[in-house]
């Protein structure tokens, strides 16, 4: 049977919305927003289908790194290792108006979800405000949680299309070891505030070959449930270098996660469980470079994926549609590299020399 990427992605959006509605039935404010957003999502699906008839695939997801600044120095940070994140004053960062234009283009193309990342996205209040004005799009905001103060919580409470997703490593010892002393307790206190104010929030868990079993255990999920977490993102670890390549998940860990997510969805019917980038065998290969998502860095460069920081086009001078049809993206999609068998982890990381050769053409 031929694999239909458009149907796979459209069905995925429906599952997300169905699960979200089920998880928020006791929260009228959240349910009202999701009812409205479901209408927008159906319209977006029709827009993507029109493009598909013209031979143009439009992904459902966009990842936007709205800043290269961060207030933490987490051990093993991929962004810092790639020089995509630093303490220096950002140079040539996209303005809030630039990002607003990108969000509007995304809406017109039928993109329903834009992940706001960084650096630390809460450092860009101006961009968050622009995003809050786009009710047709759902913005998961991936944050370390340390800047979630009363003002930010009010922003999330008033604008339900912004959903905070807090990175957490496990228990207090593990989290503080990687992110710094006191981070875990701050995160827990913030979670309590969000739970008390009925603000839907999620957590982001980076899984490796070694920790996936503990992260999907009932013991750990129960802790997140008690904190009030409603959405759990399992993010696949991408090696920093060859020395950490042995931590990358293989097909065995992906199959375990796929099965465990299905179990968790049955057992925790008031929570949503998602994986990124997802099962590559189910989706017909890696979904980067516009097959299922793509990445805009803080300077406007259009990249296949945050884990593959290569670009041959900038959205300051070009449209999102131009970016999707850039030489790099088309070469990756048409050349078969994204569907290539690999040992595990990120196929673009494993074939980064091939990506570099494409850029030199």
C-alpha 214/C-alpha 35 separation (Å) is 35
C-beta separation of 286 from 84 below 8 A: no
> Hey, what CATH topology would domain 5-359 get?
TIM Barrel (3.20.20)
Per-residue confidence band for 258, with pLDDT thresholds at 50, 70 and 90: confident
Instruction: Return the structure tokens found at 4.
Output: 């239909």
pLDDT of residue 26: 62
Q: State the SS3 of the chain.
A: CCCCHHHHHHHHHHHHHHHHHHHCCCCHHHHHHHHHHHHHHHHHHHHHHHHHHCCCCCCCEEEEECCCECCCCCCCCHHHHCCCCECCCCCCCCCHHHHHHHHHHHHHHCCCEEEEECCCHHHCHHHHHHHHCCCCCEEEEEECCCCCCHHHHHHHHHCCCEEEEEECCCCHHHHHHHHCCCHHHHHHHHHHHHHHCCCCCEEEEEECCCCHHHHCCHHHHHHHHHHCCCEEEEEECCCCCHHHHHHCCCHHHHHHHHHHHHHHHHHCCCCEEEEECCCCCCCCCCCCCCCCCCEECCCCEEECECCECCCCCECCCCCHHHHHCCHHHHHHHHCCHHHCCCCCCCHHHHCHHHHHHHHCC
pLDDT of residue 308: 85
Per-residue confidence band for 148, with pLDDT thresholds at 50, 70 and 90: very high
Residue 332: is its pLDDT beyond 80? yes
Phi-psi region of 337 (alpha: psi -120 to 50; beta: other; left: phi over 0): alpha
The strands making up 113-117's β-sheet, listed across from edge to edge, are: 272-276, 231-236, 202-207, 162-167, 139-143, 113-117, 61-65, 295-296, 302-303
Model confidence, pTM: 0.87
Residue 242: is its pLDDT beyond 70? no
Higher pLDDT, 353 or 114: 114
Residue 143: is its pLDDT beyond 50? yes
Per-residue confidence band for 3, with pLDDT thresholds at 50, 70 and 90: very low
Per-residue confidence band for 10, with pLDDT thresholds at 50, 70 and 90: low
Query: What mean pLDDT do residues 253-268 have?
Result: 90
CB within 8 Å of 247: residues ≥ 6 apart: 208, 209, 210, 237, 239
pLDDT tens figures, 92-104: 899 999 999 999 9
Query: What mean pLDDT do residues 317-333 have?
Result: 95
Bridge partners for 115 per DSSP: 63
pLDDT tens figures, 262-286: 899 889 877 888 887 665 555 667 8
Residue 27: is its pLDDT beyond 80? no
């Amino acid at each position: 049977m031929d694999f239909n990427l458009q149907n796979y992605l459209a069905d995925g959006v429906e599952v997300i919305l169905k699960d979200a509605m089920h998880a928020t039935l006791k929260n009228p404010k959240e349910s009202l927003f999701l009812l409205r957003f479901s209408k927008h999502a159906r319209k977006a699906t029709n827009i993507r289908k029109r493009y598909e008839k013209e031979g143009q695939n439009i992904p459902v997801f966009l990842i936007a790194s709205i800043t290269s600044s961060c207030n933490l120095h987490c051990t093993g940070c991929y962004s810092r290792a790639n020089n995509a994140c630093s303490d220096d004053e950002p140079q040539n960062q996209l303005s809030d108006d630039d990002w607003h234009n990108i969000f509007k283009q995304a809406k017109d193309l039928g993109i329903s979800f834009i992940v706001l990342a960084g650096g630390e996205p809460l450092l860009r209040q101006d961009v968050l405000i622009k995003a809050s004005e786009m009710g047709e799009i759902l913005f998961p905001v991936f944050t370390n949680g340390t800047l979630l103060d009363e003002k930010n919580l009010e922003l999330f409470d008033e604008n339900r299309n912004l959903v905070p997703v807090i990175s957490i490593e496990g228990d207090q010892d593990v989290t503080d070891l990687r992110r710094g002393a006191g981070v875990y307790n701050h995160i827990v206190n913030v979670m309590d505030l969000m739970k008390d104010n009925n603000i839907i929030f999620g957590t982001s868990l980076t899984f490796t070959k070694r920790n996936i079993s503990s992260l999907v255990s009932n013991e750990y999920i129960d802790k997140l449930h008690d904190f009030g977490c409603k959405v759990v993102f399992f993010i696949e670890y991408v090696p920093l270098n060859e020395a950490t390549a042995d931590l990358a998940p293989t097909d065995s860990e992906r199959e375990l996660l796929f099965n465990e997510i299905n179990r968790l969805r049955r057992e925790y019917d008031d929570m949503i469980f998602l994986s990124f980038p997802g099962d590559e065998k189910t989706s017909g290969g890696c979904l980067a470079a516009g097959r299922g998502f793509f990445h805009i860095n803080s300077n406007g460069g259009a990249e296949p994926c945050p884990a593959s920081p290569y670009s041959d086009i900038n959205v300051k001078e070009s449209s999102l549609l131009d970016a999707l049809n850039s030489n790099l993206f088309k070469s990756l999609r048409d050349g078969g590299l994204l569907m290539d068998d690999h040992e595990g982890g990120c196929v673009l990381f494993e074939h980064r020399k091939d990506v570099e050769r494409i850029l030199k053409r």
